[in-house]
Amino acid sequence: MTEEELQKLVENVSRTSFGRQFKHQVKINKRMTTTGGRYHLDDHHIEINAHFLAPQYRQELIGIIKHELTHYHLHLNHRGYRHQDHDFKVLLNKVGGSRYAPDIGLRRKRKAKYLYICTVCGQKYWRVRRLNLRRYGCGKCGGRLKLVSYKKVK
């Protein structure tokens, strides 16, 4: 889907679901991973995550567009446009927009977990990153740490 096609889709969803025109620009953002879209308060344009433009995510894309258009229309009407505002929650439920972006496997995953044990007091430390054992010690007693196990997390 190109930006022109996305622009037409957003304008159509705005007209049918909200009964109002979308007069600003829609952009595709290829760097987004954890969010489905973003509404910019300063110039009122909307960014959509490029990964949701695939045909198999059509329903999710419509939900994300409705979510961002909810921010858009409420902000332009000087009403509560933030997630915690009552106006936002009511309008989002009314139009059937998605509250959260669905996870389609783009979130970053932890690569490994390391288990360190203090040689003096036996305190255990689980870490995602590896520690420099010459530099760091136990936070409880100050003793030396020892790497006990390492496991990969999928």
Give the single-character DSSP code of 16.
I
> Is-contact 20 12, C-beta < 8 A?
no
68 annotated active-site: yes
Four-residue CA torsion sign, 37, 41, 46, 47 = negative
Marked catalytic residue, from 4, 5, 11, 68: 68
Radius of gyration of the chain (CA): 23
CA distance 95 to 60: 14
List the catalytic residues: 68
